[in-house]
Structure 1
Amino acid sequence: MNIVSLSVCRHVPPSVNFQRGLAMEPFFHHPRKDKAVVILGATGTGKSRLAIDLASCFPPAEIVNSDKMQVYRGLDITTNKVSEEECRGVPHHLLGIADPDSNFTAKDFTRHASSAIDSIVRRDCLPIIAGGSNSYIEALVEDDSAFRLKYECCFLWVDVSLPVLDPFLSRRVDRMIEAGQVDEVRQFFDPAGDYTAGIRRAIGLPEFDEFLRTEATVDEGTKRRSLDAAIAKIKSNNCSLARRQLQKIHRLYNMWKRNMYRLDATEAFKKFGDEAEELWETSVLARSQRIVHKFLYDDSPVVPTASVMSSVPPYQQPKQVAMATACH
């Protein structure tokens, strides 16, 4: 949930063999599909955090970004890209790969994401697709027949009630401003730039247009009012985006509800500090771990905790247990 500034996460080679055989053994001559986890949710609900949490608990796993603004290079604060530190060594794909002036379409995403996911699976890793652009996810899962033939998906929907999410989004904008967003946007500003194309569509860029055009020619009071108005507009637009995203998620839920699970993170977002962390782990992470474990390993027993597993040599551990959750 922190505001971050770096765009590319360090690639760390997998250290655990995620057995594709679990997903690929033939059944009545029909090969079982490989598996992928998809994390959805409105802006600011903790999708990236949950993806990294789960990747750390089901190694080796790698994350494929499905946020249509984070796919572009630049504006790391404005687009809220995860930092290398926050990645915790989990490899990320499709972060900052596109030219900021290009139009990276849903079709482009499908092509790049499919290639990344195929590569992840070939290396016996679990692909976790996470991001707020539901149109990208729908294009991949629904419109790409090759993906549908190869993969079975488990959808995790991280949800926060809007009365709780709205003030969180407002505080997040304040933290982005404190982290240097105005300077970041000022360096990127182009008076002739097109706010309908590429990364310039991102919330947090067009709202500063009037402020940046006039800041050098107006008095301090006028400049302050213009800046405050831009920040207020960013907050309002983020709340509006969350509502549009929720409408789309509800529609997707009607399509995918057999494999889609709602994770209510509202109580965690009401709290701060250690209490928020504890509620996240118990109400969101623990439940998602159980869901993903069942998805990956069917009806196998609950996996022992890391402290129990550490006392058992790997060669004595049951095959499925050795491949399952070992949170650090």
Structure 2
Amino acid sequence: MMSMCKQLQPTVHIPPCGLNLEAFNSRRQKNKVVIVMGATGTGKSRLSVDLATLFPAEIINSDKMQVYEGLDIVTNKITVEEQRGVPHHLLGMVKNPNADFDAEDFCDEASEAIDTITDRDRLPIIAGGSNSFIEHLVDGLDYSFRAKFECLFLWVDVSMPVLHTYVSDRVDEMVRNGMVEEVRRMFDPDASYNRGIRRAIGVPEFDRYFRDEMLYDERTRARVLQEAFNEIKDNTCKLACRQLGKIHRLRSRDGWSLHRLDATEVYRRRGKGAEQTWKRHVAAPSAAIVEQFLRNFVPAVSRPTPTIRVPAMAAAASR
């Protein structure tokens, strides 16, 4: 599947920082973890790979649907080519499409992956849109995670009106890349949409179409299919609003110090100049923040940022 973020490949080159994590072991009391957050479609996977090609790092997926095997188009799973040789953990690891994978499961698997990565003196980068998973990992279990690890939070943000336009176009691109047939192969009229990978946006919306398509004439079939596409777009926009609302709650209520990277202009451009805009507004600032983090500096951008108003739709969705 092609998406806007993926269309911007190849990622612009950022000069390596030349850091060796092993050199910091004797100077730090805690191992370090970078966490990349943001609403769906904002470029979290891309940024995590950008960083992992600059620093000795490996990536841990925190998207609750991408942990499952299959439905690569629907879940917008990063391809092997886009991974650019960077090891990824918790990606397509759950083989049973009906199995539940909850926050506790994520904490167990992510903790094991983090320990494995840090034992090799490499930097774990956690990236994904399931903020509840990340919150449970970082602040759950009597805050034992924070006692063991020092966390850096990067937040890739895009203006909601701009992001909504993008995710709508992304659904159209998913359709062109075979989303309908991908979901059709997994369709089971007796399966539940309340568990496993079938909970993913882009699966239950096709239920009516797959059940009754043989009963429709050509015109009705096209109309019902278009209604499914529109519902997927609407549900994806609502998900983005909920994710943004969750991020704002973590910043305000729980006091998480998130470094905001504004990628709005990248999404406005989408073509000419988008590469340099991504580098200037997202990739290069993030690399500088991570380098300072690894050198035990306090990044200048860690100073409190101005309050960002949550759009009305996001505020409503977060209640």
- The TM-score range, normalised by the shorter chain, is 0.7 to 0.9
* Alignment-derived partner of residue 136 in structure 2: 139
* Alignment-derived partner of residue 51 in structure 1: 48
Length-normalised TM-score, structure 2: 0.85
Q: Tell me, in whole angstroms, the C-alpha distance in 2 between the residues paired with 1:157 and 1:220.
A: 45
Q: Tell me, in whole angstroms, the C-alpha distance in 1 between the residues paired with 2:292 and 2:256.
A: 14
Q: Is the 8 A contact 1:101 1:197 kept in 2?
A: yes
* Alignment-derived partner of residue 212 in structure 2: 214
Any residues of structure 2 matched to 1:85-234 within 5 Å, and which?
85-98=81-94, 99-144=96-141, 145-234=143-232
SS of corresponding position for 1:287: helix
SS of corresponding position for 1:152: strand
TM superposition shift of 1:272: 2.1
TM superposition shift of 1:258: 6.0
Max Rg structure: 1
Q: Which runs of 5+ in 1 are unaligned?
A: 5-15, 26-30, 301-328
Give % identity. 54
Per-residue deviation, residues 69-104 of structure 1 (Å, max 9, x unmatched):
001111110001000000000000000111211110
* Alignment-derived partner of residue 277 in structure 2: 279
Q: Tell me, in whole angstroms, the C-alpha distance in 1 between the residues paired with 2:117 and 2:20.
A: 11
* Alignment-derived partner of residue 243 in structure 1: 241
TM superposition shift of 1:21: 4.7
Per-residue deviation, residues 122-162 of structure 1 (Å, max 9, x unmatched):
01111000000000000100003442221110000000011
- Give the aligned CA root-mean-square deviation in angstroms: 1.9
Q: Tell me, in whole angstroms, the C-alpha distance in 2 between the residues paired with 1:208 and 1:111.
A: 33
TM superposition shift of 1:255: 5.2
Tell me the amino acid that sits aligned with residue 52 of structure 2: A
Per-residue deviation, residues 240-269 of structure 1 (Å, max 9, x unmatched):
001101110001112565632011100111
Q: Which runs of 5+ in 2 are unaligned?
A: 7-17, 299-319
Count of matched residue positions in the alignment of Structure 1 and Structure 2 = 284
Q: Tell me, in whole angstroms, the C-alpha distance in 1 between the residues paired with 2:129 and 2:39.
A: 6
Tell me the amino acid that sits aligned with residue 249 of structure 2: R
Tell me the amino acid that sits aligned with residue 92 of structure 2: G
Q: Tell me, in whole angstroms, the C-alpha distance in 2 between the residues paired with 1:258 and 1:20.
A: 27
TM superposition shift of 1:112: 0.1
Q: Is the 8 A contact 2:21 2:123 kept in 1?
A: no
